[in-house]
Structure 1
Amino acid sequence: MQTSTRQTSTLAVVSLVAGILGWTVLPLLGSIGAIILGHLARAEIRREPQRLEGDAMAVAGLVLGWVSALLWVLGILAFLAFFGGLAWLAALN
C-alpha cells in the first residue's frame, strides 16, 4: 500500500511570512509580497491538489496583505485630506 503525503506549498508559507512582515518590519513591501505570493500559492495549490496543501496559509497571507494595504491607502488619504484642508484654510487667510 502506497500512501502519498502532501507537501505544504512554499509560496503559501512565504505569503504568510510576508503578511506578518507587512504588519511589523516591512509594512508596504511585505503587504504587496503577501498579496502577490498568496494568489500565486492558491493557483499552485489548485493546479496540484493531490501534491500540495497550505491553502489556509495562503489565504491568511492574502488577508493580512490586503488589510494592511487597505489601511495604508486609508492612512494616505487621511493624511492628504488633513493637510489639504490645512492648506485650504491657510489660503483663505
Structure 2
Amino acid sequence: MNKNNNAITSLVLGILSIVIPIIGLILGIFGIIYANNSLNGTGNINEENKKYAVAGKVCSIVGICIQSVSIILVVSGFMLFFQI
C-alpha cells in the first residue's frame, strides 16, 4: 500500500491545532501546507489518502479559527481588565 505521508501529517497537525492552545495556530498553518502539498502532489494519491488530506485541511482550518478567536478573547479581556 502506497501511503502519502503528507496526508497523514496534515491530519495529525490539524487535530493537534484544535487541541493545543496558542501553538495550535502555527500547527494549523503547517497542517494546511502539508494538505495542499498532498493534494497537489504528483497525482498518484489514492482515495483513502485524499480523505486524510481533506480531513487534515478541515481540522487545520477549524483549529486556526478556534485559536484566533481564543487569542482575540484573551487580548480583549486583558484590555478590559487593565482599561487600556
Q: TM-score range by the shorter chain?
A: 0.7 to 0.9
Q: Which amino acid letter does the alignment assign opposite residue 35 of structure 1?
A: I
Which residues of 2 match residues 24-63 of structure 1 at below 5 A?
A: 24=19, 27-44=24-41, 47-48=42-43, 51-53=44-46, 54-63=49-58
Structure 2 unaligned segments of length 5 or more: list them.
none
Larger Rg: 1
Instruction: Specify the code of the residue in structure 2 equivalent to 1:36.
Output: I
Flag as ranges the 4+ runs of structure 1 deviating above 4 A.
none
TM-score in terms of structure 1 length: 0.70
SS in 1 for 2:59: helix
Higher strand share: 1
Report the AA paired with residue 74 of structure 2: F
- 1:22 alignment partner, SS class: helix
Q: Please report the RMSD computed on the Cα atoms of aligned residues, expressed in angstroms.
A: 2.1
CA contact (8 A) 2:17 2:60 kept: yes
Number of residue equivalences:
80
Question: Which structure has more RCO (C-alpha within 8 Å, separation ≥ 6)?
Answer: 2
- In the superposition, the TM-score normalised over structure 2's length comes to 0.76
- Distance in 1 between the 2:26 and 2:76 partners? 24
Match of 1:7 among 2, 6, 23: 2
